[in-house]
Structure 1
Amino acid sequence: MQKALKLRGYSRKTIKAYCNQVERFLKHIPFEKTDVTTSNVQTYCLDLLERGISHSSVNQTISALRFYCKHVLHHPTDIQYIRPKKQTKLPQVLSEKEVAQVLKSVTNPKHKAILFLTYSSGLRVGEVVRLRCSHLDLERKTLIVRQGKGQKDRRTLLSNLAWESVQKYIKEYRPNRWLFPGQNIAMNL
């Protein structure tokens, strides 16, 4: 399964998630009924929902099982997959005042620069930790995010406060290759 996923360009995280989902499904069905059938899939998904597993996780399980059947088992797609309706939950968002309090409370220039970049540019944690100094465009006050979600590159604008915070951090810490190197720099190479 890993090989089939890699050949089709799936991300490392998706490969891990899909393999784990299929493995859990196969452990769940009785040994004598190891065929992936509509009944087995629906029973398993219903069990997941009854245990309080989120609709998005169940949908990911269904996607993993579809991939497994189609590309690993080479089954014709005659299995009926009933996907749970997507839940619509409002995200927990800090108020402008709360964000300002968080940003003001941080005194370490490195931590402050990370928070300002994350907030002002909408970066994910995985994108922040992979930033290189060369990804900063000093002339345009922009940041290039390489291979973000979906393996896509994008350019993002920096607010004046974020730009000032990053400049202050760079002057004090003088990062070399990575914009925010970790404690074990050898691990980041």
Structure 2
Amino acid sequence: MDYTDLNQKHLEELKNICILKGFSKQTIKAYYYNVKRFLDFIAKSGLNLENNAIKSYLLTLNLSVNSMRLQYASLRFFFAEILKKPFTTADVPIKKKEKILPKLLSKEQIKKLIEATDNLKHKLIVKLLYSSGLRLGELLNLKRKDLDFERNILYIRKGKGKKDRITLISENLKLDLLNYYSKNTFKTEYILEGRNGKYTKKSVQKVLDNLGKKIGTKVHPHMLRHSFATHLLDSGTDIRHIQKLLGHSDISTTEIYTHVSNKDLSNIRSPLDNI
């Protein structure tokens, strides 16, 4: 078996083990692509599949810390599961994850965002992301049967990590949804439909980008989820409840919102004001 065939065999093994472990399509695609790039580098450089080759490869990349960490995770998985040559951060160092504060919108900006369009579907996109704290993928996978109007509950099926959870539906949103249902004929079971079935990520991103331009602010889907969490925290909601609504398995992930919340800061006077 020549080198090209061996690499292809490795890549197929990688894909299969990812599927067996239940990884998402996005993770499988990323791991496959990253490992293929590494194997191409090995073929061109003539290096062996050893730790030093990993170091050399990572040093050639000019990527952000988070992108570099994804490369690292891909190679670590490949070496451990396929080559049976596990390595640690002591063997191959990696930068720590950047602690970047989440970007969010004020309540006034969100109100302007909703009022910036007369398109009911576009209003629903903003309201669903903000009022329920949804991730983009969760919004697109939302089905009409997942909404319980009697209990004001929204069911998230197989969210991140393939976990189910429940979150909120606002009274304001409920009226818009019922209006939207009455004016549309659906071809699928999804709330948001495109021309060829389910609405796409690019379509949502384009809607928010256009609305953001109207109010003079760059907007991406996750900003509305960040805003949902921060505004709940500002209003005094227990962080453990917010953790459940967001679907975080670790409370430390939710605690980042304490760094952008004004709840405690608003009660502190600057020493300059006391002079």
TM bucket by the smaller chain? 0.7 to 0.9
Give the superposed CA RMSD: 2.2
Q: Does 1:71 align with 2:85?
A: no
Residue of structure 1 in register with 2:16 after alignment:
3
Q: Distance in 2 between matches of 1:59 and 1:159?
A: 38
Pairs within 5 Å for 1:89-168: 89-168=100-179
Q: Tell me the TM-score normalized by structure 2.
A: 0.62
Task: Identify which of 94, 110, 113 aligns with 1:83.
Answer: 94
Q: Distance in 2 between matches of 1:88 and 1:121?
A: 25
Range 38-47 or range 145-154, more displaced: 38-47
Q: Does 1:59 align with 2:69?
A: yes
- Detail structure 1 runs of 4+ shifted over 3 Å in the superposition: 76-79, 185-188
Identify if the C-alpha distance between structure 1 residues 141 and 147 changes in structure 2 by more than 3 Å, giving closer, same or farther: same
Q: Deviations over 1:136-182 (max 9, x none)?
A: 11211111111111111111111222222222212222546221222
Report the CA distance between 1:6 and its aligned residue. Answer: 0.8
Aligned residues: 184
Report the CA distance between 1:104 and its aligned residue. Answer: 1.0
Report the CA distance between 1:68 and its aligned residue. Answer: 0.8
* Contact 1:41–1:81 (8 Å) recurs in 2: yes
Report the CA distance between 1:39 and its aligned residue. Answer: 1.5
Report the CA distance between 1:31 and its aligned residue. Answer: 4.2
Report the CA distance between 1:2 and its aligned residue. Answer: 0.2
Report the CA distance between 1:133 and its aligned residue. Answer: 1.0
Q: Distance in 2 between matches of 1:186 and 1:144?
A: 18
Residue of structure 2 in register with 1:185 after alignment:
197
Q: Deviations over 1:74-125 (max 9, x none)?
A: 2254781211121122232222211110011121122212221111111122
Report the CA distance between 1:36 and its aligned residue. Answer: 2.4
* Contact 1:62–1:83 (8 Å) recurs in 2: yes
Counterpart of 2:193 in 1: which secondary structure? coil
Report the CA distance between 1:64 and its aligned residue. Answer: 0.9
Q: Distance in 2 between matches of 1:37 and 1:5?
A: 22
Q: Tell me the TM-score normalized by structure 1.
A: 0.87
* Contact 1:62–1:81 (8 Å) recurs in 2: no
